Amino acid sequence: MIFTLPNILTAFRLVAGPLGAVFLWWGLNAADNEGLIRWWPYALALFIGGAVSDWLDGWLARRLGQVSAFGALLDPIADKVFVGAFLIVFGLWSGLWLVTWPVAIILSRDIVITAIRLSRLGRESVPVPVSLAAKVKTAVEMLMIAWFFALIFLVRGDSIWAYEAWIVFLWIAAALSLFTGLTYLRALRKTSSG
């Protein structure tokens, strides 16, 4: 059961994140405000579509009885690709260590956890499920990306406090990333030894 509506929505997120990030990058690096105005609606639409699909795919899978091992594997990977693409743009665009460090922390955690999950495919008797804390982490990351869109396109970057608050939000997401990564490793150790 690979070609189900929930899995198609999850696959959409795999494409929407990188494509939305490219549009955001083009807008942020445009020579004038016209470039920003030209590209941001595409980036925003793909972000909203991807964020909605993150909730909708799981809900539909449960509602339609289409929960699958493939979907359970693909969903957290799609989340990481979706969020990671936007994070890369934030880090490259800002260039400030206050932004690049939390971006690096989040991306590193996601790469390590995904590599561990993929390396254990077919070898683990009881897979470590995605925790509630990891779902909260993803929600916080989505809100942080939404805040960035509001900051750049609604506030137009004129508010220092809004930008500083976004950086604090980014650090909170990084702290949650570290916490959930360590929690996952602890749970993995318990399932491996028990």
| Residues 19/89, Cβ–Cβ less than 8 Å | no
| Residues 123/191, Cβ–Cβ less than 8 Å | no
Q: Which residues of the chain have pLDDT under 70?
A: 1, 124-128, 155-158, 193-194
Residue with tokens 């693909």: 74
Give me the CATH number covering residue 36. Answer: 1.20.120.1760
What range does the domain containing 50 cover?
5-193
| Residues 10/81, Cβ–Cβ less than 8 Å | no
Outline where DSSP puts E strands in the chain. none
Domain count, the chain: 1
